[in-house]
Chains A and B, each alone.
Chain A
Amino acid sequence: MKYSYIICGIALLSSFPVQQVFAQNVVECSTNGLGTTLNFIYSSEKAKWIVDATRSFNASKIQIGGKTVCVNAYADNSNSVADEAIGSAKAKLANSDQVYQSANFKKYAQVSGWDLASPASDIYISKANADFKAQTGKGDVFLNSTPLVSSPVVIAMWEDVAKSFGYPQKDITWAQIRERAEKDKNFRFGQTQPRSSNSGLSALLAQFYAANFENTKKNIVRLSKAEMTVPANQTFVQTIQKSVVHYGESTGFFQKTLVKNGPSYLSAAVLYENLVIEAQNEVLKNGFPRLLAIIPKDGTFNSTHPVAIVRGTSDEKKKAGEKFIAFLTSQSQQQAAVAAGFRPGADEDGNLKLNASLQTIYGKVLKDIKYLTTPDGETINEALRAFANGVKKPAHLAIVLDHSGSMSERGRMINARDGAIGIVKSLTVNDLVTLFQFDSRADLLIFKNLPANVTSGTSPLLDERTKNLINGVIGQIAPAGGTAIRDSVYQAASAICRDPNSANGRIRGIILLTDGDDTGSRMDSNNLFTGLASLKTTTGEPCQIPVFTVGYEVSEASEASQLLRKISSITKGQYFSGNQDTVVQILKYLADFM
């Protein structure tokens, strides 16, 4: 293979535009209190189509009962779409006058409740209905879903990698990918975080289907909870996961980074068919091989992007929602979706032409896709439990928090602590976490009252009790003193590299949050950059840890911003500019990479 590979950690992320994560894919409208306003939360994979379609709908000023209907549309990952719908419905169930506050992100603070929701697939309809029933004892949270568009979950694979599997003469199976993951250390795989993203969850479930067949040689119509708890099945999936370079919240992130960096980034990644279509021209323009869409012989899930009214929505808004759904499934909007790379969700006249790229992205004539059956909600939750309890590739994350005096301003310290606590909660039992706080100097936090195995600053077993203890320590971090960014980054990177528990085989990264210029470091920038580049593990191997830097209310022109950008750039991490509305969300986003 002529492309070089990055050896450790999360790599090649620095060029991804931060703004695409949070600021885009939102359509907001106003009727000055005279119309009917719908709040619509949808999965980000279809943002390109939904943003234009929603703007068109709002521009058409459709009226119901003499009131103009307008739609606020917000993109998020599928799991958040489901969680937000559940949160909104529960608030309405508890008290119809209560204003719903988004449980996840402050960016939705202005939303008084969700009326329409559209995750990427039926999987989240099934899961959310089960979760809502478990939490409230009531019926479905999603009422009568309608498929908007569809796009199969595929493995995007470079053509030469696919050929090495014997493709297209032979179809590729998950068992072959497992074998490759086990034997070829250069095989680098990407999939999103199953707890957050539909494509990652679809991949996980598909891998369990394949594992069950591999271990029993029996075909099954639908997975049940029992298959998730079989050790041999878990081992099969775990082996594939070992080749994962990093996880992530956004399928679009993998697509964009594949397009930008080519085969040196990943050998293959789980995407959607529409994203492979979208990537084709750019990939070739950048001089990379063809990126093929592979549907495993074992089958795949169809992401049908169901849209549904959220339980608790008023009658007036239900009617408005039905109008919006009818608009999205109209022939003209379906045609627009096809142009954006989707398959139509509705085609009543039978005259929509599919996207021409479908003829080429599979590298062969695709006869018939074998679709897997969506398991029930409890089975999906069991798969996620298995993932968290050992199937996932473990991570080692260092969280480095600025607690200088200026962090006391405008609730910065509170938000930073909340974000860090959220990160620790999201880590799984085999992950490692190392905590630093810094003011004029960096301190590896000494965890008072913690068990002996975490007093070193690194927890070997991140169970719920340990997480609670660590979060108790984070909760007590108080602002005081100056700011020593450079020293802290170097110490954190050194600590991970030197930690014998953090050998290869882990996803590794540092998240650093600060609100100002470096005023206290003994290292200068040149020493820092040289030092980071020359770090080695205890066995003498080169050790590069990507650093994700978060500038909290740091101006773009400031020295701090320049330094943070440089650090993330040379370590192949990523820089984020955050404020009080976005910083918790940014930290959550970063946690999903682990």
Chain B
Amino acid sequence: MKNCTSFFIGVFLSGSLATAQQAGRLKPLEFESFGGAKPAANSASSSAVANVGQTTSRQGSSTEAQVAAVRALPQNVKIHDVPKSIKVFTMDSLTINQPSKKTPQRLSENDGAFSIKIAAGSEKREWLSAAYELFMKRKMNIVRAADSRGNIGDRTFDINIVYTGSVASGDEIALGDSDYTVWSPASSMFRGIVSEAYAGSVFESEDPLVYSPLVHLIFQDTIDKMTKLGIKEINFVTLAKFYRDEQHDNRSHLYEDETKMFKYATTSGDSNSALTSLFMMAYDYFANRNQRLQILSEGNLNDAEFQGFLSYLKSRLVTPSSSTGTLGVKMANFSNSGGREFEGALIYENLAVTRVLKQLGANNVKARIVYPKYSLMTDHPYYIITHKTTPSQRLAAAKFRDFLLSKEVQTIAVEQFGFRPSSDQVSAKAQTKAFADFVKSGLAQDLDTSTNFINPPTPRTIRLLRELYRNLESVD
């Protein structure tokens, strides 16, 4: 098995995860551990039709048109109480906004100093801020570029980094009114949201900056107790089962105080982490049903039992913030708060390392990183946008990108902020050293052996899953 660094170099050196997968350079996703069941998309779709058959004539009339009593958890998960009923949605009954196609408008050159604007996911705020300071301090903000008369000369530029949600910024750029030079969401999962809104190529280049997968981070004493209770794997199906068992027994399975129920946290809203967690729920669910999914499809979302599963989790998961950073702070700071607000959370690996494990360790408290079996890679792509940008802006954006990918700045990302590098200039030894203290807490040196990274769904499926989850009602 290749080590993690070389794995990433092989896959991502010149393109996004999606591009790499499509090009066949990444091994196909496999669900070996769940056996060789048939692909799920069609069967899931027909299952949904069967469940909502009585009301199909009303399809499309409203988001609440289809109602059926369903079981809320997959049948092969041991459950005790079956929820009463939920509203089941067909995907064509959901309203999602898809901007009309437009041609990128390249702007002609202007004169003098100029600025570029970067929309970046807040997950990498600290690293980008540090890099920006260094870039400006060294006066690297100069490019040799033409002016409006075609004269070539040195031109200085400023960089305005706006930290914003990946979906929100994608929607903004897709509408065509924004003035971003660079879009750097948390994940290339969202690429299609923008690219599908343009008839021509809206990206001049696309490069992953750093990697940091979402991981389950759970207090060690909790995970020890869960293991004793027979939980062999942490995923959203086993978490749902754990919730269900406590609910059935009406007492805590973890605490002396029997009224204190198990809580697990994810983020809310439109953040990358919130949406990725929904996809993880989907992959965990269908994997548990022995269904081999290459890509989550619209048909899968129609599955009534799957919707019941999502509803159940929606009513049980706690979502105290839209920011994984806040979840991390709440975990790290629990002893100062006098108690835990939750026992575990889905947060980025780099935050788990730099914010949580470090502080907990200082207070002699242990927590454990558990890698999800299936996930989408958070690869922090850097897209240089052609729409409403000038050649000199794109040159400047490329210069800052190259700086971010330099050995020095990649090393800062690894050593100070806990990211995994996209550049092969950072040695495996340097990574091993940076992460060594956290291996005992479950940190994997080699992501290749810990998680199956899945092909991103289509933009329409992303929007539908987001809308479906918003509309689903909680169940008891």
Q: Which residues in A have some Cβ–Cβ distance to B below 8 Å?
A: 65, 122, 125, 129, 139-140, 143-147, 150, 152, 213, 217-222, 224, 226, 297-299, 302, 304, 306, 315, 318, 322, 343-352, 354, 366, 368-371, 373-374, 376
Q: When the two chains form the complex, which single residue of B270, B316, B323 contacts A222, counting CB atoms closer than 8 Å?
A: B316
B311-327 near A? 1/0 per residue, CB < 8 Å:
00001101011110110
Query: Which residues does chain A contribute within 8 Å of B164, judged by CB atoms?
Result: 143
Q: Is the CB of A350 within 8 A of B315?
A: no
A140 CA to B268 CA, complexed, in Å: 10
- Judge whether B90 is part of the interface by a CB distance below 8 angstroms: no
* Given A122-B320, A144-B323, A373-B318: A221 touches B243 (CB 8 Å cut-off): yes
Q: Are B322 and A371 in contact (CB under 8 A)?
A: no
Bound complex: CA A143 to CA B326 (Å): 12
Q: Is the CB of A219 within 8 A of B251?
A: yes
User: Which chain A residue lies CB-closest to B119?
Assistant: A315
Q: Which residues of B contact A218 (CB under 8 A)?
A: 250
| Chain B contacts for A152, CB-based, 8 A | 337-338
Q: Which residues from B are CB-within-8-Å of A143?
A: 164-165, 322
Question: Separation in Å of the B371 CB from the closest CB of chain A?
Answer: 25
Give a binary string over B328-348; 1 marks a CB under 8 Å from any A CB, 0 the rest: 011011001111110000000
- In whole angstroms, what is the CA distance A348 to B165 when docked? 24
Contact of B270 among A139, A315, A344 (CB under 8 A): A139
* Chain A contacts for B165, CB-based, 8 A: 143-144
Most buried by B among A143, A371, A376: A371
B294 at interface by CB-CB < 8 Å: no
Q: Which residue of B lies closest to A353 (CB)?
A: B336
Does B15 sit within 8 A of A, measured CB to CB? Answer: no
- Determine whether the beta carbon of A298 is less than 8 Å from that of B339: no
How many residues from B make CB contacts under 8 Å with A? Answer: 51
Interface hub of A218, A366, A368 (most chain B Cβ within 10 A): A368
Looking at B145-153, B182-190, B192-200, B355-363, the stretch in contact with chain A turns out to be B355-363
Contact, CB under 8 Å: A145 / B338? no
Residues in B with CB closer than 8 Å to A352 are 336
| Residue of B260, B318, B339, B363 most packed against chain A (CB within 10 A) | B339
- Closest residue on chain B to residue A213 by CB atoms: B259
Nearest chain A residue, comparing its CB with the CB of B321: A145
Asked if A224 and B251 sit within 8 Å, CB to CB, the answer is no
B245 at the interface (CB under 8 A from A): no
**Which residue from B315, B330, B362 sits with its C-beta under 8 Å from A349?**
B362
CB distance from A433 to the nearest CB of B (A): 38
Min CB gap A171→B, angstroms: 10
**Chain A positions within 8 Å of B63 at CB level:** none
- Scoring A144, A347, A376 by chain B CB atoms within 10 A of each residue's CB, the highest score goes to A144
Sorted from nearest, which 9 A-B pairs have the closest CB atoms?
A: A350-B362, A369-B339, A369-B338, A144-B323, A350-B359, A371-B341, A368-B339, A373-B318, A221-B261
A219-B251, A315-B162, A373-B318 known; A347+B359 contact, CB < 8 A: yes
Q: Are A219 and B261 in contact (CB under 8 A)?
A: yes
Does B455 lie at the interface of the complex (its beta carbon under 8 Å from any beta carbon of A)?
A: no
A343 adjacent to B326 (CB under 8 Å):
no
**Cβ of B258: which chain A residues have Cβ within 8 Å of it?**
219
Q: Chain B residues with Cβ under 8 A from A351's Cβ?
A: 362
> Could you give 11 example pairs across A and B, Cβ below 8 Å?
A125-B321, A144-B165, A219-B260, A221-B261, A299-B259, A346-B329, A350-B362, A368-B338, A369-B338, A373-B318, A376-B474
Contact B269 A140 (CB under 8 A): yes
Alpha-carbon distance between A591 and B306 when the two chains are bound, in angstroms: 49
Is B263 interfacial (CB 8 A cutoff)?
yes
Assembly CA distance A315 to B474 (angstroms): 36
Residue pair B329, A345 in contact (C-beta under 8 Å): yes
**Whole-angstrom distance between the Cβ of B288 and the nearest chain A Cβ:** 22
What's the Cα separation between A224 and B311 when bound, in Å? 13
Chain B min CB distance to A308 (Å): 9
Cα distance, A348 to B416, chains bound together (Å): 13
Q: Is the CB of B355 within 8 A of A348?
A: yes
